[in-house]
Structure 1
Amino acid sequence: MLGMLRALWAYRGFILGSVKREFQSKYRNSLLGAAWTVLNPLAMIVVYTVIFARVMHARLPGVDSSFAYSIHLCAGVLPWGMFVEIVSRAQNAFIENANMIKKLSFPRLCLPVIVVVNALVNFVIVFGLFTAFLIITGNFPGVVFLAVIPLLILLTLFGIGLGITLGVLNVFFRDVGQFFGIVLNFWFWLTPIVYSVDILPKAIQSGMRFNPMAPLIESFQVVMMQASWPDWSQLWFVTVLGVGLCLAGFSLFRKHAGEMVDEL
């Protein structure tokens, strides 16, 4: 593990350069440029607010207006978007960079790191604007906002662990990426983002404990909506799962690194 970290640190220039090039190429020849990073999630939030606000805000505790429901949505949609970006891009990182892997000598784990840094940059831009909005409107949660940092670390850990595991499997079984794209669509609606767990039947509420993203998203919403510290005890499952997936992903990668080059 220490050897991997030293190798990644030695190639930090390569990682940062790749992040910069990818960010620039993403918005090259685009009139709005990086504004699309904000417009895409904003459009989703506006649509969900228009569709669900009147139905949901009366049934969500502490949500008594469309404005409050929009904050509830932002607190869930933005972290979810970062999670999806990390997992979706990490599962295709080795395939999309097949030519570079075959031609250049560099630590292959640089690729998932580049994915994470890119996702964090995009998230900081959007979430920073959301935070500014909360401050301007007088809805900033105060010191409990610091809870976002460990929640982000946990979200990243789980996302990259799952992404690397799927990324290695996807090299050998290309259906993995296609199938997981479908899973993500169902996973979104099975996670309390546009609704609250409290409005669900008791049987379904108890089943939510098997969804690792449910308590994580709820924690973001508790911080933003209730200005309260999250219940850290509810996050043990996603923590254990995130660490387990990271270990499994690194183990799979080290074991099959040579075979992956042949498959690519």
Structure 2
Amino acid sequence: MTRREVESRYRDAVMGRIWIIVSPVLLLLIYTFVFGVVLKSRWGSDQDTFSFALTLFAGLLLNGILAEGLSRAPGIVPGNVNLVKKLVFPLEILPVTPILAAFINSALGYLVLIVFLVIKGVAPGWPVILLPLMLLPFLLCVTGLAWFLSGLGVYVRDTGQFVQFLLILLLFISPVFYPLSSLPPAVQPYLYMNPLTVPVEMVRAVLFDSPLPEFGVIALYCAVSTLVFLLGLAWFRRVQEGFADVL
């Protein structure tokens, strides 16, 4: 189902699967022009335009996974009514499919980012191989939230509208467009409540040798992500008993 999800995006396209690689490259060029050339944004006085674009791109790829998973979640079950009526079909995999598809696209985006880093002469060190492992807690958190929103979306159809505004809020209160250190120390702890903050900081620590979050923060994030995953699954299985009647 994940493979079908990925291929359906490029079905009947003239360039076909080539878009999987072309899309992140075009996005990187757009971010470079808009934020680096037009807005002249920087993370530091000594950072050039292209370096800022790569730093921004690393965070936006993670936001893409969160946005794809949560925006699709409220309507994923009503959009597959035929599968709801099949008692042998595990409905839990429906919200997971777009998340895995988004993860594949983001993984290719990170490969493109690493290639540009090498071209720029800044080759990431060996910790880059740990990148998939570092993203695992983030994927668990997004999956748990997607299960919760998928179950809620069947009964409350306004959920999808609310999620769109929530995603915009999460994006702008995360260190995607600005470094966490630019905020007052009293405000910084609150940003760790955002599911994007810790994974964005960890990814940039691996790719750009920026400071890694404290071990206690990472451990707490892993524990909370696991709890969200388990609670989301329990909620989805609890409410799915009424899906067929509602739909």
User: TM-score normalised to the size of structure 1?
Assistant: 0.81
What's the offset of the Cα at 1:96? 1.6
Unaligned runs of 5+ in 1: 1-17
One-letter code aligned to 1:222: A
| Percent of pairs with identical residues | 28
Aligned to 1:238: 221
Residues 48 and 125 (structure 1), Cα distance of their counterparts in 2 relative to 1, 3 Å cut:
closer
Residue of structure 2 aligned with 1:204, choices 187, 192, 195? 187
Match of 1:102 among 77, 85, 92: 85
Mapped to 1, the partners of 2:22 and 2:171 lie a distance apart of 20
Please, which of 192, 199, 221 is the counterpart of residue 204 of structure 2? 221
The AA in structure 2 aligned to 1:152 is L
Q: Name the SS for the 2:187 alignment partner.
A: helix
Q: Distance in 1 between matches of 2:243 and 2:82?
A: 12
- Residue in structure 2 matched with residue 129 of structure 1 by the alignment: 112
Do the aligned partners of 2:140 and 2:226 also contact (CA within 8 Å) in 1? yes
Shift of 1:49: 3.1
Q: Provide the C-alpha distance between the structure 2 equivalents of 1:257 and 1:23, rounded to a whole number of angstroms.
A: 26
Asked if 1 retains the 8 angstrom alpha-carbon contact of 2:64 and 2:102, the reply is: no
Asked if 2 retains the 8 angstrom alpha-carbon contact of 1:162 and 1:246, the reply is yes
Partner of 2:156: 173
Match of 1:117 in 2: 100
Partner of 2:122: 139
2:93 aligned with 1:87, yes or no?
A: no
Deviations 1:222-245 (A, max 9, x none): 211117765443223432332222
CA distance in 2, matches of 1:220, 1:98: 38
Q: Measure how far apart 1:42 and its partner are.
A: 4.5
- The 8 Å contact of residues 83 and 159 in structure 1, kept in 2 or not, is answered as yes
Structure 1 residues 121 and 210: alpha-carbon distance in aligned structure 2, compared to 1, 3 A threshold:
closer
What is the match of residue 6 of structure 1?
none
For 1:201 and 1:52, the matched residues in 2 are separated by: 23
Q: Does 1:52 align with 2:44?
A: no
Alignment of 1:34 onto 2:26: no
- Could you tell me which runs of 5 or more consecutive residues in structure 2 were left unpaired when the two chains were aligned: none
Distance in 2 (CA, whole Å) between partners of 1:155 and 1:224 is 17
Distance 1:215 1:21, change over 3 A: closer
From the superposition, tell whether residues 263 and 118 of structure 1 become closer, same or farther in structure 2 (CA, over 3 Å).
Answer: same
Structure 1 match to 2:2: 19
Which of residues 176, 183, 187 in structure 2 aligns to 1:193? Answer: 176
Task: Give the Å deviation of 1:188.
Answer: 0.6
**In 2: Cα distance, 1:92 partner to 1:40 partner:** 25
1:262 paired to 2:245: yes
**Does the Cα contact within 8 Å between 2:73 and 2:150 map onto a contact in 1?**
yes
- RMSD of the alignment, in Å? 2.4
TM-score using structure 2 length = 0.86
